[in-house]
């Protein structure tokens, strides 16, 4: 059977998928999984403006910044300067860990603001959120929405129990930073060596597993919504596999991946063959407003509370 083209994948209707997803979110029975792409700048004609200077850079762009600072091309003239894991390891070796983390913090958090998409998602009734983003922008968006999040952070120490919150609610959600947080240098998973340690930690027994039991339990019961990722990313597919390791795939709740350009081979393996993932071929700026309307019954641009949170101004008729 031939692979579907990008155009064919994009033409698949999303209405039934989104309706089912919205119902689960309304019941606060969906895990939100956030990636860096949720910070994408606003396109022309968008309801809200989100400029490049407000956005944390995506991994490739940040990697190229670091590569210039640590003379990566001089050491490795034939290597890819967009490979963040390798470039960040070079930066760490030629400087030190704290300097690397300071650069990450400066890039992803200092003078950066939550995107309109983050603010909209923060206003929806998610009680469990997991993210590989290092920044604290979603936590900031949750607090702007009047919520009081509990934040847990990945710990690479294999002999430390993971912080958990079994009674999370939409008003007091549990946010878990799977790849660490800028306030905790040792927690950040960014270099090649960090990823090796991370994969080893993902095999730890329940008592010391790096992912809180609340998430591991609910991965088996609730759908998961990936926003800001591409499954073309090898690390994301590896993460997905490790989170679902030894689970009966026939019992997987639906996993939704919002990706405007799903890779045809990944789509075939993960959606058609294995039925792991339901792809929604939309960009963040199309998907989030549509989801917001389905869950809240309001257009995101005409919701007075959300409008004021995003723009700092009152909405006038």
pLDDT on residue 235: 73
Residue 263 lies in a domain: yes
Q: Are 32 and 144 in the same domain? A: yes
Over residues 228-253, the mean pLDDT reads 73
pLDDT on residue 317: 65
pLDDT digits (tens, 9 = 90+) for 19-36: 999 999 999 999 999 999
Residue 197 lies in a domain: yes
Of residues 4 and 304, more confidently modeled: 304
Q: Are 268 and 233 in the same domain? A: yes
Residue 316 lies in a domain: no
pTM of structure: 0.92
Q: Are 189 and 230 in the same domain? A: yes
Model confidence at 7: pLDDT above 80: no
Range of the domain at 101: 61-107
pLDDT on residue 240: 74
| b (16+ CB within 10 A) / e for 53-68 | ebbbbbbeebbbebbe
Q: Are 184 and 97 in the same domain? A: no
CA distance 255 to 222: 9
Give the mean pLDDT of the chain: 88
pLDDT on residue 246: 60
pLDDT digits (tens, 9 = 90+) for 198-236: 888 887 777 788 889 899 889 888 999 999 988 877 777
pLDDT band at residue 87 using 50, 70 and 90 as cut-offs? very high
Of residues 11 and 194, more confidently modeled: 194
Q: Are 97 and 182 in the same domain? A: no
CA distance 283 to 40: 9
pLDDT band at residue 9 using 50, 70 and 90 as cut-offs? low
Model confidence at 178: pLDDT above 70: yes
Question: Which ranges in the chain belong to alpha helices (H)?
Answer: 6-10, 15-26, 59-69, 72-75, 84-94, 97-108, 116-122, 137-144, 192-201, 213-219, 234-243, 264-267, 284-296, 304-311
Residue 317 lies in a domain: no
Of residues 183 and 119, more confidently modeled: 119
Residue 1 lies in a domain: no
Sheet of 174-177: strands edge to edge?
Answer: 150-153, 174-177, 128-131, 31-34, 224-227, 255-258, 277-280
Residue 232 lies in a domain: yes
Q: Are 130 and 18 in the same domain? A: yes
Residue 56 lies in a domain: no
pLDDT on residue 313: 86
pLDDT digits (tens, 9 = 90+) for 276-303: 788 898 999 999 999 999 999 999 999 9
Both tokens of residue 259?
């990706």
pLDDT on residue 5: 65
Beta-bridge mates of residue 280: 258
Q: Are 99 and 47 in the same domain? A: no
Backbone angles phi, psi at 131, to 5 degrees: -145, 150
Q: Are 293 and 175 in the same domain? A: yes
State how many domains the chain has: 2
Judging by beta carbons within 10 Å of its beta carbon (0-12, 13-18, 19+), is residue 204 exposed, middle or buried? middle
Model confidence at 153: pLDDT above 90: yes
Residue 276 lies in a domain: yes
Model confidence at 1: pLDDT above 60: no
Q: Are 138 and 215 in the same domain? A: yes
pLDDT digits (tens, 9 = 90+) for 23-80: 999 999 999 999 999 999 999 989 999 998 899 988 788 999 999 999 999 999 999 9
pLDDT on residue 134: 92
Q: Are 150 and 93 in the same domain? A: no
Q: Are 138 and 172 in the same domain? A: yes
Give the rounded percent of residues in the chain with a pLDDT score beyond 70.
Answer: 92
Q: Are 196 and 155 in the same domain? A: yes
Residue 112 sits at the vertex; the CA angle it makes with 66 and 174, to the nearest 5 degrees, is 100
pLDDT on residue 198: 87
What length does the chain have? 317
Instruction: Look up the CATH number of the domain holding residue 37.
Output: 3.40.50.1220
């Amino acid at each position: 059977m031939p692979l579907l083209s990008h155009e064919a994948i994009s033409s698949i209707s999303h209405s039934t998928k989104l309706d089912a997803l919205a119902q689960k979110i309304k019941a606060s029975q969906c895990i939100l999984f956030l990636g860096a792409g949720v910070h994408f700048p606003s396109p022309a004609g968008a309801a809200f403006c989100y400029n490049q200077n407000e956005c944390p850079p995506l991994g490739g762009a940040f990697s190229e910044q670091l590569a210039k600072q640590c003379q990566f091309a001089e050491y490795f003239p034939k290597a890819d300067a967009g490979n963040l894991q390798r470039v960040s390891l070079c930066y760490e070796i030629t400087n030190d860990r704290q300097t690397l983390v300071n650069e990450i913090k400066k890039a992803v958090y200092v003078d950066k603001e939550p995107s309109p998409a983050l603010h909209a998602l923060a206003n929806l009734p998610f009680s469990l959120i997991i993210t590989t983003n290092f920044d604290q922008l979603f936590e900031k968006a949750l607090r702007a929405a009047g919520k009081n999040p509990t934040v847990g952070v990945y710990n690479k120490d294999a002999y430390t129990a993971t912080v958990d919150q079994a009674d999370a609610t939409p008003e007091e959600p549990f946010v878990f930073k799977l790849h660490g947080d800028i306030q905790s240098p040792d927690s950040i998973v960014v270099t090649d060596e960090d990823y090796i340690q991370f994969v080893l930690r993902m095999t730890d027994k329940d008592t010391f597993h790096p992912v809180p039991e609340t998430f591991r339990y609910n991965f088996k019961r609730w759908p998961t919504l990936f926003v800001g990722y591409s499954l073309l990313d090898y690390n994301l597919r590896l993460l997905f596999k490790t989170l679902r390791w030894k689970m009966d795939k026939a019992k997987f709740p639906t996993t939704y991946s919002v990706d405007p350009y799903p890779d045809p081979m990944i789509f075939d393996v993960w959606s058609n063959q294995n039925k792991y993932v339901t792809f929604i071929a939309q960009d963040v700026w199309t998907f989030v407003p549509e989801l917001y309307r389905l869950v809240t019954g309001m257009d995101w641009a005409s919701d007075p509370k959300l409008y004021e949170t995003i723009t700092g101004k009152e909405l006038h008729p």
